[in-house]
Amino acid sequence: MLNIDFLNNDYEGGKTAAEKVEEAISIDILTGVLKPGSRIIEDRLCEKYHMSRTPLRQIIQKIAANGLIQLIPNRGAFVIGITERDVEDYFYIRSLLYPQCVKWAIQRITEEEYSMLEETFYFMEFYTATGDMDKMHRINSGFDAIIYNACHNLQLERALLKYDFIIKYVNYGIIYPHNYLTTVLEEHRAIFNAFRDKNPDAGYEAAQIHAYKSMLRRK
């Protein structure tokens, strides 16, 4: 069932312990705490996260399947490096997929999902005024997550969530201009209006603009 708990600051998403460790390791890779190319010794991580090798190895398999770790049989797990060009590439790929996702979502969204999107957008409007950057990042992610889910294509949803996850942590520490929040709100408004009007092509265009500008903002 959908909910908007993500608006809460200390929301942990009902994650299991294993999911939290998975995220922690992934973040360590993306933020450079774990150096690209370096070998991951299972016992070290077991000690760090206070668990035995059995569940830890499952987590490593998952991260490897997501592409942040390379697993070489009998040799170990190695950190995959993400270069600046990779990040640019991910923005570019995202700008190919995101508009199509929005278009499909407008065609396929359910009543319930739309209500959720509407409610979230009103929160966005409200919190933009307060200027709480952290909360806004959270809501923006939630807004996108509802759209990703509403396109009703699991693989596309997962691909976009993955790219967003990578971009989010590689972007860590970036300074945003003072008009960042209002600018992004207006881009989102254009997308939301397309949902309200049930206009897939308008949504595609608005999404393209938003994705493209997101890419430029990084420069």
Of 32, 55, 81, 200, the one binding DNA (CB under 7 A) is: 55
- Euclidean distance between CA atoms 78 and 36, whole angstroms: 8
Residues in the chain, overall count: 219
Q: By CB under 7 A, tell whether 35 contacts DNA.
A: no
Cβ neighbors of 113 (< 8 A, separation 6 or more) are 2, 146, 149, 150
Nearer to DNA, 75 or 178 (CB): 75
Of 5, 8, 13, 17, the one binding DNA (CB under 7 A) is: 17
Q: DSSP alpha helices (H): ranges in 81-179? A: 84-108, 111-130, 133-150, 154-170
- Euclidean distance between CA atoms 103 and 203, whole angstroms: 6
Q: By CB under 8 A, tell whether 36 contacts its own copies.
A: no
The CB-of-113 to its own copies minimum distance in angstroms stands at 17
Nearer to its own copies, 88 or 112 (CB): 88
The CB-of-136 to its own copies minimum distance in angstroms stands at 27
Contact 162, 22 (CB under 8 A): no
Residue 70 is classified by DSSP as E
At residue 181, the 3 state secondary structure works out as helix
Token pair of 128 as six digits: 């933009």
Site map (CB under 7 A) of DNA, residues 60-89, x = contact: -----------x-xxxxx------------
The CB-of-54 to its own copies minimum distance in angstroms stands at 6
Question: Where along the sequence are the contacts to its own copies (CB under 8 A)?
Answer: 16, 54, 57-59, 61-62, 64-67, 73, 80, 86, 89-90, 92-93, 96-97, 100, 104, 153-156, 158-159, 162-163, 166
